[in-house]
Amino acid sequence: MFTPVWHSIFIALLSTVIAFLAMLPLSYFFAKRNSKWQLPIETLILLPLVLPPTVVGLLLLSLFGKNNGFGAFLYDTFHFSFIFSLAGAIVATTIIILPIMYQGLKAAFLSIDHELVWAAETLSATSGQIFRKVILPNCWQPILAGILLSFCRAMGEFGATLMVAGYIEGKTDTIASSIYFMVQQGDLRTAFYLGLFNLLIGVAALFIIHILTIRQSQLMRGM
């Protein structure tokens, strides 16, 4: 029972880190200015919100399959495939949580009082100094809330991950996929315990997010 738990935590952590690093500069850039590329890029990022996870998984299979496109190149050159591996599960989960991460980060940056940024600019602060000493200290709470929400979504990912990584016991099994197949096999007890573990993580994360939201609201009212 512990292997799918470890796999889920590992996949969720790496996916959250990758999504955060990828969306941080992009969300910061689009929160500061308008660009002709904003609409197509945001549409691409947000697509997983309106597509079934199985469709996302199908698209990734088409891209990373051993006989298709980039996947064929990886397999022929490096003898590596994302299909039926934890690496494939990480890629699929990252794609699924990108919209949540992007929207959370962008909302956090948009909540910043621009007068603080303007004041820092008048004091000849560099862009890096403004980001580190003005923006981050004033919006770290909604940023952390977005990270936690993305992590919880990653912990519960099922459709796209199952399509790309499959269900190989001891190799690619996650909490979500294990619950599904254990119910099919009649092992409701183990499925219940796995579901309870995921539930506790979600409740704890939502509690922290609630506290962060309240503190951010108090901070904004005090400014």
The domain made up of 2-222 has a fold known as MetI-like fold (1.10.3720)
Contact 213, 207 (CB under 8 A): no
| Domain segments of the chain as ranges | 2-222
pLDDT, tens digit, 9 for 90 and up, residues 167-190? 999 999 999 999 999 999 999 999
pLDDT, position 1? 66
Lookup: tokens for 124? 């000849």
CA nearest to 202, candidates 180, 175, 181: 175
Distance CA 178, CA 169 (A): 8
pLDDT, tens digit, 9 for 90 and up, residues 105-137? 999 999 887 788 888 888 888 888 888 888 888
